[in-house]
């Protein structure tokens, strides 16, 4: 298997989203790993990139779904959430935009439209092999018409997120009055010009785009997909934390959909990332159990991350048995687990791995032990598994 570490990283990224998102959705991601992006060289400093296929939404064959149709879908998905229903009801119809045109035709990613019921969520698909956590976020809905370099013929086109994208001075946190008339921002720019603060000899400017959920404004990046106009960062992201004052402390970084990532930095999905998806019709649930795995001196606590346990080699024509001890760290929730294993570079071809008890339930606070057997193998490979908790959230581990 080529690039096993990269494949494992892609699977982990998918699991991080799967473990908290509860809306049924299916998609296929084509992933390329290496020095090029499907044959094309990456731009300098680019760690990864995503291209999402846009789908038009139809309420019936050959009849486009319009803004009121989407608002009704939103409300149907959140009938008990009065705050969000009020937010949806405040979206103006007709819906003005900065294109300039009233928003009309709706496009979205496949997952967008599945969540809203415009596309069957049980489509036939290959396994969800994924890409990195950030880029999967784009397929989930972090896309915007602002990224278009040329709006000619597309002035009325928008994505779900765009219904909640406005100028910061056009809305008032906690009020829906201004939101009900504010033009939606579907074009890049303008260049930021209003000073927020000067710290360490550097001037920080307010963003000209914000995401508004009815309660608060959240800064967004403002440039096209080619990073033209605005603040130079693609508008399908939160505002770059480097463009926000350091005095914000932990709040300087908004979420995993930040447009930049420093080398050696490990970031995670947070509440703001999930709040955006919630507003756009996707449900999530943080109720999950976590697991501790112990192998000799190697101990891992698995809650919102994935790590590797090292087992070493097995000599030819021998068997090595390792006992793993699993502890459900939650004192409240049982841990429903299910393991899957994948071998790579199997030599000889009849090498095998067995694992006792690959599915079951660990009661809250309890320990479970299992024997892991590697037979007739003389090269190091990897084993991949995941556990699924009672709330149907998944996390992946490697052994």
Domain co-membership, 328 together with 217: no
Burial of 383 (0-12, 13-18, 19+ CB in 10 A): buried
Domain co-membership, 80 together with 198: yes
Whole-angstrom Cα distance, residue 174 to residue 276? 16
Domain co-membership, 358 together with 379: yes
Whole-angstrom Cα distance, residue 271 to residue 83? 17
Q: What is the mean pLDDT of the chain?
A: 71
Last residue of a domain, one of 235, 252, 279: 279
Bin 114: left if φ > 0, else alpha if -120 < ψ < 50, else beta: alpha
Determine contact, residues 238/218, Cβ cutoff 8 Å: yes
- Tokens describing residue 26: 């299916």
Provide the pLDDT for residue 75: 92
Whole-angstrom Cα distance, residue 160 to residue 112? 8
Domain co-membership, 197 together with 245: yes
Pairing of strands 367-375, 319-328: antiparallel
Q: What are phi and psi of 197, to 5 degrees?
A: -160, 160
Provide the pLDDT for residue 383: 36
Domain co-membership, 225 together with 159: yes
| Domain contains 6 | no
User: pLDDT above 90 covers what percent of the chain?
Assistant: 29
Last residue of a domain, one of 279, 311, 330: 279
| Domain contains 11 | no
| Domain contains 16 | no
CA dihedral 186, 191, 88, 102 (to 10 degrees): -30
Determine contact, residues 188/229, Cβ cutoff 8 Å: yes
| Domain contains 329 | yes
Task: Enter the pTM of the model.
Answer: 0.65
Domain co-membership, 170 together with 67: yes
Domain co-membership, 322 together with 205: no
Lowest mean pLDDT among 18-27, 120-129, 216-225, 275-284: 120-129
Whole-angstrom Cα distance, residue 222 to residue 210? 9
Domain co-membership, 121 together with 197: yes
Q: Higher model confidence: residue 61 or residue 93?
A: 93
Provide the pLDDT for residue 186: 94
Question: Which tens digits make up the pLDDT trace of 27-58?
Answer: 666 666 656 655 666 565 555 555 555 555 55
Domain co-membership, 272 together with 360: no
Question: Which tens digits make up the pLDDT trace of 84-138?
Answer: 999 999 999 999 999 888 987 655 554 554 555 444 545 433 322 223 566 677 7
Confidence of residue 262 (pLDDT cuts 50, 70, 90): low
Confidence of residue 344 (pLDDT cuts 50, 70, 90): very low
Number of domains making up the chain: 2
SS3 234: strand
> Would the pLDDT of 145 be above 80?
yes
Domain co-membership, 104 together with 188: yes
Domain co-membership, 78 together with 112: yes
Last residue of a domain, one of 220, 252, 279: 279
Domain that holds residue 45: 21-279
Task: Give the CATH number, domain containing residue 389.
Answer: 2.60.40.10
Provide the pLDDT for residue 24: 73
Domain co-membership, 94 together with 147: yes
């Amino acid at each position: 298997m080529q690039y096993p570490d990269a494949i494992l990283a892609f699977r982990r990224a998918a699991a991080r989203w799967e473990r908290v998102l509860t809306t049924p959705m299916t998609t296929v991601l084509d992933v390329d790993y290496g020095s090029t992006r499907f044959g094309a060289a990456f731009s300098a400093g680019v760690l990864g990139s995503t291209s999402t296929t846009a789908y038009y939404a139809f309420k019936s064959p050959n009849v486009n779904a319009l803004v009121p149709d989407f608002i009704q879908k939103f409300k149907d998905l959140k009938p008990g959430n009065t705050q969000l229903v009020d937010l949806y009801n405040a979206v103006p119809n007709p819906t003005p935009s900065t294109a300039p045109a009233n928003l009309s035709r709706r496009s979205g990613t496949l997952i967008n439209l599945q969540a809203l019921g415009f596309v069957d969520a049980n489509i036939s698909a290959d396994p969800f092999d994924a890409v990195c956590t950030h880029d999967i976020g784009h397929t989930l809905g972090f896309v915007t018409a602002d990224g278009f370099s040329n709006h000619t013929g597309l002035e009325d086109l928008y994505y779900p997120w765009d219904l909640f994208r406005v100028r910061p001075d056009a809305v008032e946190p906690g009020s829906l009055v201004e939101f009900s008339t504010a033009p939606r921002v579907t074009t890049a720019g303008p260049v930021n010009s209003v000073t927020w603060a000067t710290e360490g000899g550097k001037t920080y400017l307010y963003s000209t785009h914000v995401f508004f959920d009815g309660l608060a404004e959240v800064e967004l990046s403002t440039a096209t997909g080619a990073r033209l106009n605005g603040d130079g960062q693609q508008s399908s992201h939160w505002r770059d934390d480097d463009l926000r004052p350091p005095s914000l402390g932990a709040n300087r970084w908004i979420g995993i959909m930040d447009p930049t990532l420093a080398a050696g930095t490990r970031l995670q999905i947070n509440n703001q990332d999930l709040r955006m998806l919630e507003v756009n019709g996707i449900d999530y649930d943080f109720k999950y159990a976590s697991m501790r795995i112990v192998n000799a001196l190697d101990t891992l606590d698995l809650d919102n991350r994935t790590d590797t346990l090292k087992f070493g080699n097995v000599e030819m024509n021998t068997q090595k048995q390792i006992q793993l001890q699993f502890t459900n760290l939650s004192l409240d929730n049982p841990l429903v687990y299910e393991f899957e294993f994948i071998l790579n570079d199997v030599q000889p071809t009849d090498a095998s791995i067995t694992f006792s008890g690959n599915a079951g339930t660990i009661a809250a606070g309890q320990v479970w032990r299992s024997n892991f057997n590697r037979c007739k193998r003389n090269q190091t490979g990897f084993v991949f598994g995941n556990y699924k908790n009672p709330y149907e959230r998944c996390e992946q581990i490697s052994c």
